[in-house]
């Protein structure tokens, strides 16, 4: 299987995206922003199809639109939580714009299908380098804001009283989410971005009792699901996106059967709030 260049590239790209999606997705689930993350992928669809219409690379159009929407959502700060109606309207409007752009130039219908459902086997070497560079940027940025992000997530009132800017943290985090979403789209597509961004993270939150353990488990699950999905696709000739999403769903359902991990102080990572507060 690994004798083929496209399979080597697929495994490398899948690994990069799984690491980013697993790490970022953990905080996304912890902050109850999964629906907002899903909406960002649909905003990206409008950007990708619009870029195709004007002759640009769909990936960069997707990334630019996603980052712009991330910044706009981040400015809402804590008010973004629970605003499912507003996020849903943005989601549907973005899909509508994507359909309009696609109808104006139907020659790129095949590329649009790849955007919707993903195609890890079609990732090029140049795209792999872009994914790797963006992955490093997003992980470094996530590590840089992880302490105030965790503080603002678990106790926003106290964090704000201690001088943490909730709006700035929200904007920075959602920009990181935007990059992660743009990368995940290359693997599982816009419609199924939940498979890598939410499934492993949700399972890790149930199975792990601490922050570091939870993030590592989320990354591990995302990587295993991606690798297994690519291998099963090679054996069965079925789409890798199908296998990745099915494996992600199966892992999460199995996590529901396992006893929930006892948190280290009433919440995974709650003890880290005290550490930040002590500083």
Contact 54, 101 (CB under 8 A): no
Q: Torsion angle of alpha carbons 165, 167, 172, 175, nearest 10°? A: 180
Give the residue with greater pLDDT, 144 vs 79.
Answer: 144
Structure tokens belonging to residue 135: 């992955």
* Residue 32, pLDDT score: 85
Q: Inform me whether the pLDDT recorded for 120 exceeds 80.
A: yes
* Residue 176, pLDDT score: 93
CA 216, CA 71: separation in Å to the nearest integer?
27
* Residue 268, pLDDT score: 42
* Residue 275, pLDDT score: 41
Mean pLDDT of the chain: 83
Q: Mean pLDDT, to the nearest integer, of 156-169?
A: 87
Q: Mean pLDDT, to the nearest integer, of 197-221?
A: 92
Q: Give Cα separations from 146 to 80, 100, 107, 272 (angstroms).
A: 19, 39, 43, 11
The CATH number given to whatever domain includes residue 238 is: 1.10.3470.10
CA 225, CA 219: separation in Å to the nearest integer?
10
Q: Give Cα separations from 184 to 44, 62, 155, 261 (angstroms).
A: 11, 11, 29, 28
Q: Inform me whether the pLDDT recorded for 157 exceeds 80.
A: yes
What range defines the domain where residue 268 resides? 5-278
Contact 69, 178 (CB under 8 A): yes
- pLDDT tier for residue 269 given thresholds of 50, 70 and 90: very low
Q: Where is average pLDDT lowest: 5-14, 46-55, 171-180, 204-213? A: 46-55
**The most confident of 11-15, 88-92, 118-122, by mean pLDDT:** 11-15
Q: Inform me whether the pLDDT recorded for 81 exceeds 60.
A: no
* Residue 216, pLDDT score: 96
pLDDT tens digits for 221-265? 999 999 999 999 999 999 898 999 999 999 999 999 887 766 554
Contact 265, 271 (CB under 8 A): yes
What is this structure's pTM?
0.83
* Residue 265, pLDDT score: 44
Structural domain count of the chain = 1
């Amino acid at each position: 299987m690994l004798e083929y260049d496209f399979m080597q590239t697929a495994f490398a790209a899948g690994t990069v995206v799984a690491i980013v999606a697993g790490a970022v997705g953990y905080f996304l689930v912890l902050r109850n922003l999964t629906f907002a993350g899903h909406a960002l992928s649909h905003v990206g669809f409008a950007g990708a199809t619009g870029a195709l219409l004007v002759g640009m690379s769909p990936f960069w159009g997707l990334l630019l639109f996603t980052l712009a929407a991330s910044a706009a959502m981040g400015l809402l700060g804590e008010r973004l939580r629970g605003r499912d109606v507003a996020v849903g309207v943005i989601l549907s409007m973005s899909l509508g714009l994507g359909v309009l752009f696609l109808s104006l130039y139907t020659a790129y219908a095949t590329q649009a299908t790849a955007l919707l459902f993903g195609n890890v086997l079609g990732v090029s070497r140049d795209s792999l380098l872009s994914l790797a560079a963006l992955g490093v940027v997003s992980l470094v940025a996530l590590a840089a804001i992880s302490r105030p992000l965790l503080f603002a997530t678990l106790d926003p009132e106290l964090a704000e009283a201690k001088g943490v800017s909730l709006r700035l943290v929200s904007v920075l985090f959602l920009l990181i989410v935007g990059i992660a979403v743009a990368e995940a789209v290359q693997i599982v597509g816009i419609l199924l971005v939940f498979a890598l961004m939410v499934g492993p993270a949700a399972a890790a939150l149930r199975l792990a009792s601490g922050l570091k353990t939870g993030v590592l488990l989320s990354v591990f699950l995302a990587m295993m699901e991606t690798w297994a999905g690519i291998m099963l696709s090679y054996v069965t000739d079925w789409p890798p996106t199908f296998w990745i999403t099915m494996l992600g769903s199966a892992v999460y359902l199995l996590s529901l059967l396992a006893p929930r991990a006892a948190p280290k102080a009433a919440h995974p990572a709650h003890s880290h709030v005290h550490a930040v507060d002590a500083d």
